[in-house]
Amino acid sequence: MIAKEIAAKIFKAAEDKKAKDILVLDMAGINEVTDYFIICSANSNTQVRAIADNIDEELSKNGYFPKTKEGYADASWVLMDFGYCVVHIFLDEERTYYNLEKLWANASVVEFEVGK
């Protein structure tokens, strides 16, 4: 259950920085690397970084730190690997181009309540 709790914290941290179209995919049984993908969008490079920073800050309060963080300097697509959860923060056009939702269409969507 720890993986889902981490995914929920990531969802909330992204939501707090006004991430758009937050999608949580259950990758268990589909991808051996992680249990959840959290995918979201931002309007600007600055917002991409703000979302990444907030996720980092909020999870570090609970002792979770990313194993890797890629793309932060360019901030068109930031990938954060927390082991159980991998976060993808995209600019809108990058998200459309890479279309991870289609690539992993066989994954189940996990619903978290917005604003909680």
- What tokens does 103 get? 């690539």
Query: How many CB atoms lie under 10 A from the CB of residue 51?
Result: 28
Rounded to two decimals, the pTM is: 0.93
Confidence of residue 114 (pLDDT cuts 50, 70, 90): low
Whole-angstrom Cα distance, residue 41 to residue 88? 8
Structure confidence by residue, pLDDT tens digits, 43-96: 999 999 999 999 999 999 999 999 999 999 999 999 999 999 999 999 999 999
3-state SS record for 45-75: HHHHHHHHHHHHHHHHCCCCCCCEEECCCCC
> Are the C-beta atoms of residues 89 and 44 closer than 8 Å to each other?
no
- Domains of the chain from N-terminus onward: 2-110 (3.30.460.10)
